[in-house]
Every structure is written in C-alpha cells, then in structure tokens.
A and B are shown apart, each in its own frame.
Chain A
C-alpha cells in the first residue's frame, strides 16, 4: 500500500508543469545559497547588459562624454567589463549556483563543504564588484586582459591602480572557481553516491517508452547509494563506462548524467584555471618589476588555456541537466541511455585542447599547437552532435509539455547548435584568418553563450525556483521574457555574423560609414534583449517576495493537458469522467 503511494507520488512528478525534480531534499542552507547565486547572477546580468547598451550607443554615435577621447575610453571600458561580467558575474555565478543545487539533488547527498560553497559565492561576488569598479575607472584592455596593453593605458588613460585591481578581481574569481571545482570533486568522490541507473538499460530495441510508468528505474529517486571503488567511480563519472561492451557496462554502476555533466565541468575547469593563474602571475611579476621582459604571447596563450574551458563551463552543467529535464518535459521515461553518457569523455578531453584556436592569428605560435587546435576544434563537433542528436531523439514524436522552462531549454539547444555551426567554421585555421577579427566571432559567441548556455540556465532557473520556493514565476511575464529574448538575442547574433562576413572589424568604437545602417538595428535588438531581462528580474523578485501559496497542480495544467489526462483515464479505466 505504502509502495503504491510512493509510486503514485513519483508518477505525479511528471505532471508538474515546471518539470519534475528529484524528491531528495537539499538542505535549507544550500537552498538559500542557490537563490542568492541566482539573484547575484541576474543583478550582474543587468549590469553587464547596461554596458552592452553603452557600446551599442557609442557605435551608433550617441555621445556620452563631451571629450571624444574619453567617449572612446568608455567604449573600451564597457567592452572589457561587459565580457568579464557576463562570463564571471552572470554566467559563471549562475552555473556555480545551479551546479551546487543539481549536484546535491542528483547525487542524493549534501555538498562536501557548505563553507567552501559560501566562500566561492563571496569570491565570485567580490571579483565581479571589483570588475565594475575597474569599468568605472575606464580600464579597457579587453575582456581577456590583453597584456602588456593592460599596463600601457590608452584613450585618455586608465591608471595602473585600475590595472592592478583588474588582476586582483580575476584572482578572486579564479580562486572562487577553484574552490567550486574542489568542492564538487570532493562531494562526488567522497562517500556514497546515487548510482545504478545502468540497470535500467532496456534489453530490446525500444529505448524510450512513450509515457511514464511505475518501473522507471532511471529516476534518481529510485537509485540506491553506492560506495564505488575510485577508478570505477571515475569511469562512471567521466561517462567512459558507456563505451564498454554491454556485459561490462551492466556491471559499472552509472551515476546520473546530470552529475556526470557537473563533474566533467569541474575537472576540465580546474585544469584550465592553471592558465589563468599563469597569466595573472606574469602580470603581477611585471607590476613588481617593469624591467622584466615576460613572454607576452605565452601570457595570452595561458589565458586562453583557461578562456576556452570557461566558455564550456557555462554550458556543461546545464547540458547535463538538459539530458534529464527534456525527456521529463516530453513525458518519456528515460532508462539508462548510453548515448546520453557517450559524449562526456570527449568533452572532457577536447575542451582544454581547443584553447589555442583563439590565437590562430598569432603566427609565432608553433605549428603543432595550431594543428592540435584545428583537430580538437573539429573533434569536439562529435560529442556536440551526439548530444544534439540524442536530445532530438528525446523530442521526436513526443508530446512535449511546452512551458516557459521547456521553451527556454529547447531554444537554448537551438541557439547552441547555430553557434556551433559558426564555431566549426571558424575552428578551421584557414577560415579563421578571414573571420577572426570581424564581428562574425562576436555573433558566434553570442549564439553559443547568450542564446545557448544562458537560455539553458534561465530555463533551469524557472524550474529550480519553483522547486526551491514552491512558488512559480509569472507565466505572462515569462512569455514576454521568452519572446523578447529570442527576438532580440537571435537578431543581435545573426546581425553580428552577417556584418562579420562583410568584414566589419570587431572591438572598434568607430564603425565605418557604409555599415552605419546596421547600428540602429543592433541597438534595437540589444534593447529588446535588455527589456526582456528587466521583465525577468521583475518577475523573479516579485515571485520571491510573494507569499507562498499552496502548490495547486491543477492551476498549472492547461486545458489541453487536462483533456489528455482525461483521455488517458478513459483508456485506463474504460469509463468517462462524467
């Protein structure tokens, strides 16, 4: 009787409009911290978005400062702070916060250390605030802190103090990210972890069942806790076991694919942060002894050793979550699916190796490094395509429950795919030579980040907030947010790409006259995205401040879904509801 009750409870999870979340209850502290991460991230999102608006305005020849040199300086300060704030203040903050939540939920265990989680939150916030201070001091050496430009102020000049402050900000952020990675790795590798999903791998050819059923042993709630041997645990966590022959695959307890995504993310970023600290170390050493003659090309390469993994960092945790959430929205029970796991070992290997495609234009780089970058850039298409195909198979012939969360997640996948096409193009050394310094690259990064990982993250926020607070974000405001973000985001990114193909140079405050026609368009799309985010922030804060209502599931089920459920009841019981 009790068993039936729990099964019914599990089954009811599928009918939540915000998407089912595992029943494992995370601690109150972690819940609060997750909300704080989300709030901080959206605040920095708005700040970074404002800087984008400043850039678009200056390029549209709107004057903010009467001194033209300072006006230019403002553009480069906005360019620098926009990139770093979007990455660290917004995207990384959101990734870290949601990763903590997802890890605890899907590994079914508390975090290794809440103090470390709080420290990572404090350091990321501290670093991001310092970045804003640097922007106010007109520091504008590019978001990748191009050295030695950082130490040779241009355009009216920033001070050496602001250059130092920028290094300190990046150091804080780097340490915060290292603490996050260590916390995740320690959580996953220590003690018992929910595993065993491989036992639900179907024997026959039918991989996905059409609707939820009682024997959905792929559900994290039904997984037992295992104490796995170290190597077995690593093989499971990196998704390597999914490539084993069936006989062995069955014997290696598989953890949730969400945990795999977060673990791969942390280990890859941990390797990458060595590059950040190398670049910062070179910067500090130059500050201490300006007579020293550092290898600046090495400093730049070292930054990109970190710079590429940080792009993937904002994606992997959400991609792992998408493997869980999308099938649930499509009302398919997904038992163990080897294809969901098979891409992760390749992500793990290639996410760091692709770094030097950012410095294709730096000819002194050894040929071997450029060759590795070209091969890795093309090789990473394999796991990416595998992910897209798998997710498409989850959506194919499904009765997907369209709501704000699922729409954002699916749109995020679409944006990432478009961005990926552009990335594959510029990943070729030969093509990159033509496109590297154009707005085409800006279009690519906006597709991958703004329309890719950010939308995936926002989709999860809609789902996670409902789970954490038992309060749903407003649907109408959510719809406005979705539409404006899609219109503005895709409009902005595709326009950048189009202009880039015509050779419009990037990182330039002054746009040539023949391309000025595009500036009002870009400004319009930027304002549209910005409006959408303001609506989102209003919706979020209004929801958080609202008194908690009883969670009435019926309220969220629309008429069509109600009809579907009634039809199913007729099939099961043979009676009409009347």
Chain B
C-alpha cells in the first residue's frame, strides 16, 4: 500500500492538495507582493487565493480523514493491529470528537455565513484595511481571516444548499456591480496606500468580473446542476422502462 492510498481515497483529492500547495507557494512568493501594489489586483488576488485556500483546506482535510478512516477500518477488519494503527485509531477518535463538537457549535449554516460576511466586511473597513497594509502582523492576520472565510463559506454552503449558492452568486453580482461603480467613480482615496486611479481601475475590474459572473457563472452553474438532475431523472426513467 502506497502512502497516497493510505492518505486518500479519491484521486481528485490529489488534485486539490496540489492546488493548495501551488496557491500557498504563490501566496508566499514575490508574485503576491507585486499584485498587492495595485488595489484591483490586490483584492482579486487576495479574495481568490485565500478564499480558495480555506475552501480547499476543508476538502483536503476531509479527504485525509476519510482516507485514515478507511485504512483503520480495513486494518481492524483484517484484525491487523500494530502500535502504529492503535495510535491512528486514538487520533481518529479524538479528531472525530473535535469535529463533532465543532459541528454542534456551528450547526446553523446561517450563523456561519453571517460570521463569514462580518469577517469580510470588517477587513474592508478603510481604517482597518489601511492598518493591515502598514503592519505585517495584522496583514497576516487578515490573510488568515480570509482563509477562515473560505472555510466558513464551504461549511455553510453544505448546510444551506443550492439556494444559498444561487443567492450568493446573484447578490455578489449586485454588490460587486455597485461597489465596483463606487470605486470606479471615486474621486478621493478610500484606502490610503493606493492612488485614486488605482481605486478607479479596481472598480472597473470589479464591474467586469461581476458581468462575467452574471453572464457566464450564473447560467453555467444553473445549467450544470439542472443537467445533473435531468440526467438522474432520465436514468431513473430508463431503469423503470427496462
């Protein structure tokens, strides 16, 4: 049994982990510093990267946990116990307890999403944003918060379902259009480290991204999900006919 099989039970999780590593590398590299020199690219980079890291982290950790569980189950079925497997079983039990209690605390998806929105809004308050730009420690804390936001989004999406995804897509389009317009029209600096023209460019990026989401993202998601249901429906129908 290879290490990969020991840790993971699906090939896709390899991909997710690889993406996570790549994003981490980019996040810590010179590239991010360059991106942060402009408000637009800074926001796009930070939102996209750290939210994805948070999102993927949950998926990856779940994959690892599932892999460990499967291995432990196989070993106990084969009555193959070593000091190593006993250690893993103890680890799994305590981890399961931790996860269970975490889920009990965060059983309401609505609370999770509200926490995520509050966190995002907090770091976008101009004075807080400026502070994070000047202090390295606070900047790191901001990045960590965005990772948390990504994780919270995933957890809340699972609990609240597809309606929430659609609501988030549509409301994000509306909010991005309007706040993008606000930045595009800004005639004074909102975030002090950046110039007015940088604000305007960031607004134009936001306008373009929101339109892309409205024209491509939303219909794409809806069609994909519908075809999934339609496919299931068609399969059931053919099974019934046969």
Interface residues of A (CB under 8 A from B): 189, 229-232, 234-235, 238, 240-241, 244, 248, 251-252, 267, 270-271, 274-275, 278, 293, 295, 297-298, 301-302, 305, 345, 349, 352-353, 364-366, 368-369, 372
- In the assembled complex, which residues on chain B have CB atoms less than 8 Å from the CB atom of A295? 182, 185-187
Contact A231 B221 (CB under 8 A): yes
Per the bound structure, the CA–CA distance linking A349 and B170 in Å amounts to 11
Per the bound structure, the CA–CA distance linking A181 and B166 in Å amounts to 16
- When C-beta atoms are compared, the residue in chain A nearest to B224 turns out to be A231
The number of chain B residues touching the other chain, given as a range, is 35 or more
Distance in Å: Cβ of B51 to nearest Cβ of chain A: 22
Per the bound structure, the CA–CA distance linking A229 and B207 in Å amounts to 31
Contact A352 B177 (CB under 8 A): yes
Known: A267-B170, A305-B181. A251 touches B230 (CB 8 A): yes
Contact A274 B230 (CB under 8 A): no
Per the bound structure, the CA–CA distance linking A297 and B203 in Å amounts to 15
Per the bound structure, the CA–CA distance linking A372 and B234 in Å amounts to 40
Distance in Å: Cβ of B151 to nearest Cβ of chain A: 23
Beyond A302-B178, A302-B182, 16 extra complex contacts between A and B, CB < 8 Å: A229-B162, A230-B163, A231-B166, A231-B229, A235-B222, A235-B226, A240-B223, A241-B226, A270-B174, A274-B174, A278-B182, A298-B181, A305-B177, A305-B178, A353-B214, A368-B184
Per the bound structure, the CA–CA distance linking A372 and B206 in Å amounts to 13
- In the assembled complex, which residues on chain B have CB atoms less than 8 Å from the CB atom of A231? 162, 166, 221-222, 224-226, 228-229
Per the bound structure, the CA–CA distance linking A189 and B173 in Å amounts to 20
Interface residues of B (CB under 8 A from A): 161-163, 166, 170, 173-175, 177-178, 181-182, 184-188, 200, 203-204, 207-208, 211, 214-215, 219, 221-230, 233-234
Distance in Å: Cβ of B35 to nearest Cβ of chain A: 21
Contact A366 B203 (CB under 8 A): yes
Per the bound structure, the CA–CA distance linking A353 and B184 in Å amounts to 15
User: Is chain B's binding surface mostly helix, strand, loop or mixed?
Assistant: helix
Known: A295-B186, A366-B203. A232 touches B174 (CB 8 A): no
Distance in Å: Cβ of A147 to nearest Cβ of chain B: 14
- In the assembled complex, which residues on chain A have CB atoms less than 8 Å from the CB atom of B215? 349
- When C-beta atoms are compared, the residue in chain B nearest to A352 turns out to be B177
- In the assembled complex, which residues on chain B have CB atoms less than 8 Å from the CB atom of A230? 161-163, 166, 225
**From B184, B222, B228, residue with most partner A Cβ within 10 Å:** B222
Per the bound structure, the CA–CA distance linking A271 and B224 in Å amounts to 24
Contact B230 A248 (CB under 8 A): yes
- In the assembled complex, which residues on chain A have CB atoms less than 8 Å from the CB atom of B177? 271, 305, 352
- In the assembled complex, which residues on chain A have CB atoms less than 8 Å from the CB atom of B184? 366, 368-369
Per the bound structure, the CA–CA distance linking A171 and B223 in Å amounts to 36
Per the bound structure, the CA–CA distance linking A153 and B150 in Å amounts to 49
- When C-beta atoms are compared, the residue in chain A nearest to B190 turns out to be A295
- When C-beta atoms are compared, the residue in chain B nearest to A364 turns out to be B185
